[in-house]
Amino acid sequence: MFLPVSKQDMEARGIAQLDFVYVVGDAYVDHSSFGHAIISRVLESRGYSVGIIAQPDWKDPESIAVLGEPRLGFLVSAGNMDSMVNHYTVNKKHRSKDSYTPGGVMGKRPDHAAAVYGNLIRRKYKNTPIILGGIEASLRRMGHYDYWSDSMKRSILLDSGADLISYGMGEKSIVEIADALNSGIEVRDITFVRGTVYRARSIDTTTNPIVLPAFEKIRTDKMEYARSFKIQYENTDPFTAGTLVEEYDHSVFVVQNPPQMPLSVMEMDDIYALPYMNDIHPSYKSQGGVPAIEEIRFSLTSNRGCFGACSFCALTFHQGRIVQVRSHESILEEAKRMTGDKQFKGYIHDVGGPTANFRAPACAKQLKKGACQHRQCLFPNPCPNMKADHSDYLSLLRKLRKLSGVKKVFIRSGIRFDYLLADKDDTFFHEMLEHHISGQLRVAPEHITERVLKYMGKPSRQVYDRFLKKYEDYNRRVGKQQYAVPYLMSSHPGSTMEDAIALAEYIRDLGYIPEQVQDFYPTPSTLSTVMYYTGLDPRDMSEVYVERDVKRKAMQRALIQYKDTKNYELVKTALLQNGRADLIGYGGKCLIPPRPYKERTEKSAAAKDSRGSSRKPINKDNRGNSKKPVNKDSRGSSRKPKMKGGRR
């Protein structure tokens, strides 16, 4: 049964007043890949009643009153994505589709949705507790750089009018908050729950606080913001993190408690065994459904957390570096239920998580003492204490392949190729190629120059080259022709035009033509975003080159797709401005020809005419010089021959 979305639903369940009302920017999808479904079902399993208000009209305070005032509080989330990323491209242009809205319609949630919903509720209900959650609130929990306004913004706790933030995945913290409210504790006194952020007038009673630079300092001094972020980044581990404090004007403090502890295998299993409907709410069927469900309907989540350390990824701040997993039994049980779905065609689309081939913490120490504060597991080289082992993941995949009704089990979550290479046993590598990909495997080298890779937190080019060689060798052994498709990123902090040209040359030598390129997108609370805004690497405070010019950013992107005829002028300008005219020509090492593709096509056609085409001969005078062209328009000028497509 779906959770209540109306008074009629409440009456059918005999509920006079809900304990919690969850206001969310996504459509209501009762599936374990959606945060609002997980949190609501977890609370329900503890005896609390929860109703859903999905995508309310943010201009009308009555839209959040349709289920009445909850007994304990409102839960608020912008949805599965930050609302600004959901709405805008990296060029700050409006997207045309929202996959989390019925029919894919754009514009059903506001910008900065979590803050807007919080204020909407506060206008209607002055004293009802409001708890923010979800990725938007999680990544904006302290003072942060906002790319879309190109400014520093305060903690979303202050701008939303909320009482608490439950950051991270939040299953443990939300239950503690609910139990505290249910016991009669005032929301302002809930200052003791891990994984939460609260406001305070004094920090005199806070134990061993780590005081960050005040917001006014980070707002006006980029170096102070970089320093603040480094402290935050070093305090994301639940075993070692301290309590962080950020001061605002008028003696207001935003206090961040350490993260919630990792979930055990049993706790993960319990969460994914809850009675999800695994479908969109029936009210959306007539509106064209919710596109996002199609990506995950027949996929299985096997883990969460990531020790990959990519600088542009927010997972360290949201899910943490300690990998948490479900048991084989839990995943197999979900797969069996999946095979009974009338729409299931025999294909499990994915078995993974943030990184598919992470099925355990990086080392045994992490579950006792946490992840290392000043050292990464894979970057710049794999830690000698890291245990690279795919045997558990391989065993799981084998079991899934044997299930009745399953034809194929795919891996579509990212594969961390440096971790794959670190495993001395290549059995998984072989079976992945033989059974679990279909024609191509997407991997993420992102770039190839050491300078950029260092800032990205990615392995060196030599590691990717070794992976490609092994990938090709093993494909030959299993008798398949399958391709490794790389994700590539342009204009990441540290990337100069020289680096972009080097990447284009690498692509040329691979013989690969990328269809998609990701421009670096400065999303809240990542190392890369701080580099972009401050021009500093928070890890050592060294200066970082940042490309901000719109045209030069377009050149970096165009270089990666240098074969696209639309990019010709941008590529040519980039090469000439950087002294690389040697890459313009007809040789095998050249990126582009001397003239645009359309012009070359036309000149080739003209040359063909002179070699004996069926067109009228050119009239010549008695000295052999060509007279005026035969074809003229009404003004006597030459007309270029009409070409189709403008390509060679």
Q: Is 265 among the domain residues?
A: no
Is residue 55 located within the same domain as residue 168? yes
Instruction: Give the residue from 192, 226, 250 where a domain finishes.
Output: 192
57, 185: one domain:
yes
350 and 454 assigned to the same domain = no
Please check whether residue 536 lies inside any domain of the structure: yes
Q: Strands (DSSP E) along 539-598, which ranges?
A: 542-543
Instruction: Supply the CATH number for residue 389's domain.
Output: 3.30.750.210
Identify whether residues 409 and 502 lie together within a single domain. Answer: no
**Are residue 392 and residue 516 in the same domain, yes or no?**
no
Of 192, 207, 237, which residue sits at a domain end? 192
Are 48 and 130 in a shared domain? yes
Tens of pLDDT, residues 449-503: 999 999 999 999 999 999 999 999 999 998 999 999 999 999 999 999 999 999 9
Residue 534 counted as domain residue:
yes
Whether 65 and 185 map to the same domain: the answer is yes
Six token digits for residue 371: 């992840």
Residues 175 and 61 in one domain: yes
Of 170, 192, 214, the residue at which a domain comes to its end is 192
Q: Note whether residue 406 is domain-resident.
A: yes
pLDDT in tens, 146-163: 999 999 999 999 999 999
Q: Is residue 638 part of a domain?
A: no
Report pLDDT digits (tens) over 10-48.
Answer: 999 999 999 999 999 999 999 999 999 999 999 999 999
- Asked if 14 and 112 sit in the same domain, the reply is yes
Confidence of residue 436 (pLDDT cuts 50, 70, 90): very high
Domain membership flag for residue 178: yes
Asked whether residue 574 is assigned to any structural domain, the reply reads yes
- Looking at the structure, do residues 401 and 495 belong to the same domain, yes or no? no
Residue 637 pLDDT > 50: no
Q: Which helix (H) or strand (E) holds 45?
A: helix 35-45
Instruction: Note whether 111 and 181 are same-domain residues.
Output: yes
Q: How much is the pLDDT for 605?
A: 54
Residue 108 lies in a domain: yes
Give the per-residue pLDDT at 614. Answer: 41
pLDDT on residue 601: 56
- Residues 130 and 48 grouped into a single domain: yes
Give the span between the Cα atoms of 166 and 173, in whole angstroms.
7
Q: What domain count does the chain have?
A: 3
Spatial CA neighbour of 529 closest among 3, 145, 14, 199: 145
Cα–Cα separations (whole angstroms), residue 499 to 243, 444, 449, 574, 584: 40, 17, 6, 12, 17
pLDDT, tens only, 171-221: 999 999 999 999 999 999 999 999 999 999 999 989 999 999 999 999 999
| 308-352 confidence digits (pLDDT tens) | 989 999 998 999 999 999 999 999 999 999 999 999 999 999 999
495 is in which domain, residue-wise? 449-460+487-594
CATH number at residue 47: 3.40.50.2300
* Closest C-alpha to 81, from 149, 151, 137: 137
